Structure 1
Amino acid sequence: MKPLRVVVCPDSFKGSLSAAEVASAVADGVLDAAPDAVVTRLPMADGGEGTLDALLAVWGGEALFTETVDAIGRPTTARWAVSPDGHTAVVELAEASGLPGVADAPLQPLHAHTRGTGDLALAALDAGVAEIILCLGGSASTDGGSGILTSLGARLLGTDGEQVPDGGEGLASVASLDLSGLHPRAREVRWRLAVDVTNPLVGEHGAAQVFGPQKGARDGTADYLDDALRHWAGVLLQETGVTVAELPGAGAAGGVPAGLIAVLGAETTPGAVLVAEAVGLPAALADADLVITGEGSFDSQSLGGKVADGVARLAAASPTRPPVVVLAGQVLLPEAQARAAGIAAAFSIAPGPVDLDSLISRTAPRLRDLAAAVTSLATAARSAV
């Protein structure tokens, strides 16, 4: 019998282990039970925070560093990366323009911006890449992507012909766009935006109303920002002919996709799918016998474009259709729903009632033990055939 071929492709367990650490623990468990197994480790992410680290773990190499500014304009240094073939750059919005970077200061929902992320994208363009994957998540701003465009050379002008202020507040006074200074390669590269939400730019389910409160936009501020984004959508339509106000996913990360879709022709893709393609997961699944993925909490949100959902979809489309097993900190999704989504089984690392701190401290060994048990079952099933 040929050795068992196992693909290990988990997300991180936030607050406990990175995706690479989870993959390592699971792989160790597989090899405990089947020493001759062929194990492929592909740490995953859903396109939000942690995606850069997951890709670097697979690609190897080191992150690149660029001097830039955070979401409220303070000097900072942020990371980005280029694929081994030099074709693709990965920029994680949270690195320069995320909430964690401004956690030490009062929230500034009207003035926070994405200029810093634009600086990273500018560095990627200067590096000569043909594609930029922009991972959206953890944004501190609601600026409709205007900060990124400004860093790339666009000018948002008021009725007086002067540049409007950064941030969501400035969007309310934009009268026109001057794209004459846009980076010469900005419209030549392929922009792929990793998103994990389908919210439109404006309205009850839009960027300001749904995600604004966590960035400090409460009471009338969220309404103001919603109106500003609606005005911004009108300017984009006027200047580019592209309608973005109701576009699914345009409300991600404070509306970043809206500006980039209209001006740069960017496309949105579920983050887990983008990461899977970038790390070569579809090819790895082509001859797999077993797939083990994982995440901190396996629940109803897991089926909305998160890693487990993406892995299950890709496995179902692969030639061997390998069973997919989820290992999680907690399993809250009913078995019937999991099976309907293409998940063969889901197991919690919790051995019983246990407090969170104790569980976190034992995450790696529990993952290893569970992976060994799953592998033993898979090996027994193969022998019985």
Structure 2
Amino acid sequence: MKIVVAPDSYKGSLTASEAGEAMRKGIQKASLHHEIAVIPMADGGEGSVRCLVDATGGQIFTTTVEDSIGKNIEATFGVLGDGATCVIELAAACGLYVIEKSERNPLVTSTYGFGQLMLAGLQRGYRRFVLCLGGSGTNDGGAGMLQALGVKLLNVNGQSIKRGAIGLADLHAIDTASMDPRIHACDIRIACDVTNPLVGAIGASRVFAPQKGANEAAVELLEVLMNNWAEHLEEISPIQVRYAAGAGAGGGTGAGILALLQGRIKAGSSFIAEISELERHIQGADLVLTGEGKVDSQTAHGKTPSGVALIAQKYGIPTVVIAGTVGTDIENLYTQGVCSVLSLLNRPVSLEEALVDAATMLESTAEAAVRLYSAAKSG
């Protein structure tokens, strides 16, 4: 058989490339005669830069920026093999896992470091950007990013507001006159793994802020602050960011990019599949294996397994998803070409053990999936 292996990373344990190699080993245990194509994937979240750089023969650069609570860190960004496209992950500077669990508070975390990464790209002469917004620990609507790019966010006294979402409580005016002029010459694409709007029941604050350390009261305050932010953005931008699809990505960073940087949103999984030529590899395959750390109700809405399965479905090729953990409400995946969702956990283990043994368990699960499919096909 021809089998295409196209996983995302398994957060905290395996990169997409490592996951792909583990799956390859499992398939080879089932049979050495299978033709295997490993295409590491991402959806705009963590690992997207590495995935795109590897797929195109690009380069990785390192620079010093601030993390989401203002500490200096070394963060990376990439340039694609075309030598002209700069790829930046919000998670590289402002990721949820960049800071300690005790430091996570989306009322105060800021996207300032993300803006600094963009400045580093501008300084190197790049004017074409792909901004990947998944995996953030922020909920400031991209305000910090804009501050790093020179936008002045002012209170009623004409003074700069504090960084972080909490500062938006004092926002009176947005002054774009001092924004870095090089931005106006840029082509900016947003690769995001969600389609959530900025506000509302499925907006950035209510859906994602609890994962970033917000309690119920903080979530409601963040919702008020994001509405206030949207009101100010919509006064100076023709884009109605409040309910725009994808504006809630990256804790609302999508809204800031749409409104003031003229960014264009594309589903991260689709964009990366296009760059990686995934569809070409899938054509003529018998089976597709994909996966990520957690599969749940969000997966069918733009995450890697969904994007991979939809491509395979076009050609009538079944997809098996192997997850670190399987959540609830995953039924929509079965309408997208997924024939089975499997957990790689094959015994009771602690989270720490699972992270350490992920490659071995993924290898075993891939072997079992292929053996089962082969038996069913031959029967």
If the length of structure 2 is used for normalisation, what is the TM-score? 0.86
Once the two structures are superposed, what CA deviation does each residue of 1:235-274 show, in whole Å capped at 9, x if it has no partner? 2111123211222332222211111101112123333223
- Secondary structure of the structure 1 residue equivalent to 2:147: helix
Contact kept in structure 1, 2:323 and 2:341, CA below 8 Å = yes
- Work out whether residues 172 and 229 of structure 1, in 8 Å CA contact, stay in contact via their aligned partners in 2: no
Tell me which of 159, 174, 181 is aligned to 1:177: 174
Instruction: Give the alignment partner of residue 354 of structure 1, picking from 348, 353, 357.
Output: 348
Three-state SS of the structure 2 residue aligned to 1:80 is strand
Quote the offset at 1:102 in angstroms: 2.8
Amino acid corresponding to residue 116 of structure 2 in structure 1: D
| 1:282 Cα offset (Å) | 2.4
1:5-24 aligned at under 5 Å gives the runs 5-24=2-21
The letter of the residue matching 1:39 is I
Consecutive unaligned residues of structure 2, counting only runs of 5 or more, are none
**Mapping of 1:273-352 within 5 angstroms?**
273-317=270-314, 320-330=315-325, 338-351=333-346
Moved more, 35-44 or 140-149: 35-44
Native 8 Å contact 1:72 1:108 kept in 2? no
Distance of 1:336 and 1:220 partners within structure 2: 32
Contact (CA 8 Å) 2:53, 2:81: kept in 1 or not? no
Q: Secondary structure of 2:170's partner?
A: coil
When residues 127 and 234 of structure 1 are mapped into structure 2, their CA distance, relative to the original with a 3 A threshold, is same
Instruction: Compare 307-316 and 288-297 and name the one that shifted more.
Output: 288-297
Q: Give the distance between the partners of 1:167 and 1:350, measured in 2 at CA.
A: 38
Q: Of 222, 237, 241, which aligns to 2:234?
A: 237
Tell me the equivalent position of 1:76.
73
Task: Quote the Cα distance in structure 1 between the aligned partners of 2:163 and 2:289.
Answer: 44
CA RMSD of aligned residues (A): 3.1
User: Of residues 216, 225, 245 in structure 2, which corresponds to 1:248?
Assistant: 245
Paired residue secondary structure (1:160): coil
Partner SS state of residue 10, structure 1: coil
Matched to 2:8, the amino acid is D
* Residue aligning to 1:211: 208
Counterpart CA distance in 1 for 2:105 and 2:142 is 16
What is the match of residue 132 of structure 1?
Answer: 129
Segment drifting more, 197-206 vs 82-91: 197-206
The alignment status of 1:86 with 2:83, answered yes or no, reads yes
Q: Deviations over 1:345-376 (max 9, x none)?
A: 3444444x533466555543443344445555
Q: Distance in 2 between matches of 1:220 and 1:354?
A: 35
Cα 1:326–1:204, aligned 2, differ >3 Å: closer, same or farther? Answer: closer
Q: Give 1:141's match in structure 2, choosing from 138, 141, 151.
A: 138
Pair 189,380 (structure 1): closer, same or farther in 2 beyond 3 Å: farther
Structure-1 separation of matches of 2:329 and 2:224? 40
Aligned residues: 378
Counterpart for residue 55 of structure 1: 52
Counterpart code for 1:367 = L
Identity of aligned residues (%): 38
Q: Which one of 32, 36, 39 corresponds to residue 39 of structure 1?
A: 36
Equivalent-residue separation in structure 2 for 1:141 and 1:371 (angstroms): 35
Q: Secondary structure at the match of 2:289?
A: strand
Give 1 or 2 for the bigger CA radius of gyration: 1
> Normalising to structure 1: TM-score of the pair?
0.84
Unaligned runs of 5+ in 1: none
SS in structure 2 at match of 1:301: coil
Q: Retained in 1: the 8 A contact 2:268–2:302? A: yes
Q: Which residue matches 2:61? A: 64
Amino acid across the alignment from 2:303: K
